Chain A
Amino acid sequence: MADLGNIALWIALLIGVWGCATAFVGGLKGRPDLASSAERAMYVVWGLLAVASLGLVYALLTHDFNIEYVASYTSRNLPLWYTWSAFYAGQKGSLLFWAIVVATFGAVAMLVNRGKYRELMPYVSGTVLSVVTFFVAVMVFSENPFERLPFTPPDGNGLNPQLQNPGMTIHPPLLYLGYTSITIPFAFAVAALVSGKLDTGWLHAIRKWTILSWLFLSAGIVLGMWWAYVELGWGGYWAWDPVENASFLPWLTMTAFLHSVMIQEKRGMLKKWNLGLIIGSFLLSIFGTFITRSGVISSVHSFAQSSIGYFFLVYLILSGFAAFALLALRWPQLEAEAKLESMVSREAAFLFNNLVLIVIAFSVLWGTLFPILSEWLRGTKVTVGPPFFNQVNVPLGLLLLFLTGVGPLIAWRHASTANLRRQFQWPVTALLVTMIALVALRMGDGWAIGTYALSAFVVTTVTQEFWRGVGARMRLHSESVPLAFARLVGRNRRRYGGYVVHIGIVMLFVGFAGMAFKSDTEATLNPGQSVEARSPYGHTYRLQLQSISQFERQNAFVTQATLEVYKNDRYIGMLKSEKRQHRNSLNENTFEPSTEVGIRSDIREDLYVVYAGSVQGTEQSVFRITINPLVWWVWYGGMVLVLGGLISMWPGGGGPTAASRRRAEPAGYVAQVKE
């Protein structure tokens, strides 16, 4: 099977090159025979990569340790689910995973759109194939997952224990899906530029794709945060590490695009900008891969340093140059059809939203690259950490939160004073009431007060939209509340899905601001002894060490600390935190001992206990106890965000055509119904 996979990769390379060439030549020379050959090449490459993927999965599941990749990432006693996840846990396998996913998206895009966008499709298939072929080339020339060893070891190394976590089995593929699916919008953008078909056709074709890749990126990032939180044991979920930043960057530019594209649809503005955002997002996804795999920037997370980073750097430069050259070529054909008429308008709110998102992206990129930049400019590496990113991004984040409330409610073109009063009197009231209440409750952190006040503002705007929308339907169609609600959302999925996303964003902000109040306590305890930790809400936790026990598990030797938890001296439950020494089937230790954090989570705060180890030969044990307020809101905010995204892109009624038929009406659907 493995050899078959290897052969499939080589054939995929050849057919990929053929498909690329025929696609572009076929499109430019108007030769439909070549164009359809390229289309078939897309399907064939997909099939070959599927064979290669199956080959690798088969080798993993059958423990073919003669294959270096299998021996490096799995062992006989690794649970089945994690054996499967080893497919994308290592460098080589993840390249194959990446290639098959892009090829799958490409083939699906081809099947869905081949009839509708005939002029675009040759270039779409050519662009997607060029990306896939690049990945296949990296594999066959440098990082072949099917490489064999000169001998067959009796057992493999096993999977890094930190990756043996349910979150970690889903987080990388989701992030890869997010990164890779940007390829499709990028391919359509390139196709629009090459073919000169720059009307809104290509925008319609990619609308769902952009939401899809945004959705995958969002879910991937939040899951990564969750994994870092429950698995790494440092008490937080976001450290502004270069690899985290690399996933955040395309998310920011895609978020900007999802907003600015509405301006192009409704008002024919921002055409160049939107093309630039799509190209930029694609380049940032490749840049993320380069950062993660080259080791040019030191990160706790990066893959082993290897030369393949430079493949990506060269690819990044070449594809960036080509795409922006195309954009420059079509520049004169991309004039705006309308002008910004007023600063008090939805266009202006969206423009500022885009500006803020891009400025955040720029500052994150700058901070991430600063070690390299400072070395070039001043000869010394200077690094910046979380204080830099927080100082810059907290004010920008609050401005963005404010615009999240303003954008959807303010009128297009020019908002009248009446419109402003009608839309914003309640949200502004909520903002002020929250602010006064929090100051009265003596909340000590100004940024947190700002965050919660703006959160109340945004939630009120969204609630008001739902309230008025449901009310209008009930009056007009005499519908009951649930029916009116369901139809309101169902018939305007993109819009109301967007509101749900906004609620998710608010919940995330609520959680982020909670971290301003986190507290740490360290303690050394003998069994029977206890330690107290004070919550920012005023109550006190007392943790009493009950016992330290040791036992064997399928692939690990576990030392477990059990603590009794008392809240204000009332017993509320047990917490367990573990140190695990992982072993392979020959009972040899693999990896360093890993920590399992004990977490007790509720809507208000998390009690987060790390067992750091015991003094040799005794039961005297060291713990770090962290109280993290409002972390719950981050995870559930992430879920609400994904739910909103799913509503927005659900196929059927209320989709693109219905949305684009409603042109710039003064205050959206509700006003249209009432007037």
Chain B
Amino acid sequence: MNARGKFILGGALILGTVGYLMASGIRETGVYYLTPAELSARIEQDRSFYNVGLKMGARVVKGSIARDVATQTITFRVTDGTASYPVVFRGLAPDTFTDEVDVVVEGRLQSDGTFHATTLLAKCGSRYENAPHPEGTPRTQTS
């Protein structure tokens, strides 16, 4: 076999391995990304969807955040305007986590209807935009 053929063979070997790693990586580590409305629709179709690892993207309901510093537990509600779920998260919330901020929680929906989150990501519209807007100053983005 000439050098070109060998290179193509070696390249195919690398590509094959990577393809396998990518496919198995997605199968084993990929998680659903749902909104509360999509999650509740799925649960209605398929009861076994409880306790499946997933990510939920939603907005924190204003005034719903309760923090217990001693046990490091944070409870709050999230909504997308249609459906709403209570969330329990144990750990340190990011600085940007606050009322009415967009969050992504990763975890499982329990059969009692609460979402147990293992990770909590908060986004303040953007890291470059402001979160709260005191009276008298302009609201820059309405995302």
List A residues at the B interface (Cβ < 8 Å): 68, 71-72, 89-91, 149, 153-158, 160-163, 232-234, 295, 298-306, 339-343, 345, 348, 351-352, 355-356, 359, 363, 366-367, 370-371, 374, 380-385, 387-388, 391-392, 395-396, 399, 522, 524, 584, 586, 588-595, 610, 612-616, 620, 622, 624
Q: Name B91-112 residues within 8 Å CB distance of A.
A: 91-92, 94-98, 104
Task: Determine which residue in A298, A306, A339, A352 has the highest number of CB atoms from chain B within 10 A of its CB, and name it.
Answer: A298
Query: A89 contacts B128, CB within 8 Å?
Result: yes
Task: List the A side residues contacting B14 at CB < 8 Å.
Answer: 352, 355-356, 359, 399
Q: Given the known A-B contacts A234-B94, A382-B30, are A342 and B3 also in contact in the complex, defined by CB atoms under 8 Å?
A: yes
Q: With the chains together, A371 CA to B91 CA distance in Å? A: 26
A392 with B123, Cβ < 8 A, contacts A384-B30, A592-B97 known: no
Mark interface residues in B113-133 (1 if CB within 8 Å of A CB, else 0): 000000001111111111111
| Min C-beta distance of A531 to chain B, whole Å | 14
**Interface: B31 (CB within 8 A):** yes
Partner of A384, one of B7, B25, B34, B133: B25
| Interface residue B82 (Cβ < 8 Å from any Cβ of A) | no
Task: List chain B residues, Cβ under 8 A from A355.
Answer: 11, 14
Pairwise interchain contact B31-A396, C-beta atoms closer than 8 A: no
| Nearest chain B residue, comparing its CB with the CB of A86 | B128
> Do A160 and B130 contact each other (CB < 8 Å), given the known contacts A340-B7, A359-B18?
yes
- Using known A-B contacts A300-B123, A382-B26, A612-B72, determine if residue A363 contacts B18 with beta carbons closer than 8 Å: yes
What chain B residues lie within 8 Å of A160 (beta carbons)? 124, 127-130
Q: Are A593 and B25 in contact (CB under 8 A)?
A: no
4 closest Cβ pairs, A-B complex: A381-B33, A304-B141, A388-B25, A387-B29
| A348 x B7 contact (CB < 8 A) | yes
Distance (Å) between the CB of B74 and the closest chain A CB? Answer: 11
Contacts A153-B136, A380-B38 aside, 4 further interface pairs with beta carbons under 8 A come to A90-B128, A385-B29, A592-B97, A610-B92
Rounded to whole angstroms, the CA-CA distance of A586 and B137 in the bound complex is 12
Least distance between B69 CB and chain A CB atoms (Å): 4
Within 8 A of A (CB), among B8-39: 10-11, 14-15, 17-18, 21-22, 24-26, 28-34, 38
**14 pairs from A and B in contact (CB 8 Å cutoff):** A72-B140, A153-B137, A232-B94, A300-B104, A301-B126, A302-B123, A302-B126, A303-B128, A339-B4, A343-B6, A345-B3, A384-B29, A589-B134, A590-B130
Q: Which residues of B contact A (CB under 8 A)?
A: 3-4, 6-7, 10-11, 14-15, 17-18, 21-22, 24-26, 28-34, 38, 55, 57, 67, 69-70, 72, 91-92, 94-98, 104, 121-134, 136-138, 140-141, 143
Which residues of chain A are near B133, meaning CB under 8 Å?
157
A610-B72 Cα distance, complex, nearest whole Å: 13
Residues of A within 8 A of B22 (CB): 363, 366-367, 388, 392
Q: Are A72 and B138 in contact (CB under 8 A)?
A: yes
Kindly identify which residue among A68, A304, A383, A612 contacts B126, using a CB–CB cutoff of 8 Å: A304
Contact assessment for B33 and A522 in the assembled complex, using a CB-CB cutoff below 8 Å: no
In contact, A304 and B143 (Cβ under 8 angstroms): yes
Chain B neighbourhood of A306, CB < 8 A: 141, 143
A351 with B7: CB separation less than 8 A = yes
Q: Which listed residue (A345, A388, A590) contacts B30, Cβ 8 A?
A: A388
Minimum CB distance partner of A360 in chain B: B18
CB pair B92 A624 closer than 8 Å: yes
A399 to B18, CA, bound (A): 12
Contacts of B98 in A (CB 8 A): 592
Q: Once the chains bind, are B30 and A370 in contact (CB under 8 Å)? A: yes
Q: Which of A91, A356, A391, A592 is within 8 Å of B25, CB to CB?
A: A391
**Between A and B, how many residue pairs show CB distances below 8 Å?**
193
Min CB–CB distance A492 → chain B (angstroms): 28
A contact residues around B96 at 8 Å (CB): 162, 592
Cβ-neighbour of B3 out of A161, A348, A594 (below 8 A): A348
Take A352-B10, A363-B18 as given contacts and tell me if A612 and B92 are in contact as well, using a CB distance cutoff of 8 Å.
Answer: yes
- By a CB distance below 8 angstroms, the chain B residues around A343 are 3, 6-7, 10
- Judging by beta carbons under 8 Å apart, are A71 and B129 in contact? no
Contact status B130-A614, CB under 8 Å: no
Known: A383-B31, A383-B55, A522-B72. A305 touches B143 (CB 8 A): yes
How far apart sit A603 and B136, CA to CA, in the bound complex (Å)? 49
Residues from chain B with a CB closer than 8 A to the CB of A91 are 128
Q: A598 to nearest B CB, angstroms?
A: 14
Q: Which residues of B contact A157 (CB under 8 A)?
A: 130, 133-134, 137-138, 140
> Bound complex: CA of A232 vs CA of B93, how far in Å?
11
CB-based contact B136/A154 at 8 Å: yes
CB distance from A413 to the nearest CB of B (A): 10
Given known A72-B140, A155-B137, A232-B94, contact A341–B69 (CB-CB < 8 A):
no
Q: Write out the residue numbers on chain A whose beta carbons fall within 8 Å of the beta carbon of B6.
A: 343
Chain A residues near B126 (CB-CB < 8 A): 301-304
Chain A residues with CB under 8 A of B123: 298-300, 302
A340→B14 CA distance, assembly (Å)? 19
- Contact partner of B70 (CB less than 8 A), chosen from A154, A155, A610, A615, is A615
Bound complex: CA of A621 vs CA of B123, how far in Å? 25
Give B26's nearest chain A residue, CB to CB. A384
Q: Is there contact, CB below 8 Å, between B127 and A300?
A: yes
Q: Which of B3, B17, B104, B121 contacts A340 (CB 8 A)?
A: B3
Given contacts A303-B128, A304-B141, A524-B72, contact A162 B29 (CB under 8 A): no
Inter-chain contact B104/A298, CB cutoff 8 Å: yes
Q: Given A160-B127, A363-B18, A592-B96 in contact, is the A620-B26 Cβ separation under 8 Å?
A: no
Q: Which residues of A contact B15 (CB under 8 A)?
A: 359
- Distance (Å) between the CB of B98 and the closest chain A CB? 5
Q: Give the CA-CA distance A83 to B84 in the complex, in Å.
A: 40
Q: A71 contacts which of B10, B122, B137 (Cβ < 8 Å)?
A: B137
Shortest Cβ distance from residue B83 to the other chain A in the assembled complex, whole angstroms: 16
Q: Given A305-B143, A359-B14, A392-B22, are A300 and B69 also a contact pair (CB < 8 Å)?
A: no
When the two chains form their complex, are residues B69 and A615 in contact, meaning their CB atoms are under 8 A apart?
yes
Q: In the complex, A356 Cα to B15 Cα: how many Å? A: 9
When distances are taken between beta carbons in the complex, the residues of chain B under 8 Å from A614 are 69
Cα distance A613–B140 in the bound complex, in angstroms: 30
Which chain B residue shows the least CB distance to A235?
B92
CB distance from B140 to the nearest CB of A (A): 4
Q: Which residues of A contact B25 (CB under 8 A)?
A: 384, 387-388, 391-392
In the complex, the chain A residue whose C-beta lies closest to that of B33 is: A381
| Interface residue from A162, A348, A382, A396 paired with B127 (Cβ < 8 Å) | A162
Q: What's the least CB distance linking B44 to chain A, in Å?
A: 15
Which chain A residue shows the least CB distance to B35?
A381
Query: How far is A155 from B138 in the complex, measured between Cα atoms in Å?
Result: 10
With both beta carbons as reference points, the residue of chain A lying nearest to B30 in the complex is identified as: A382
Q: For residue B67, which residues in chain A have a CB less than 8 angstroms away from its CB?
A: 613
Q: Across the interface, which residues of B come within 8 angstroms of A370, CB to CB?
A: 26, 30
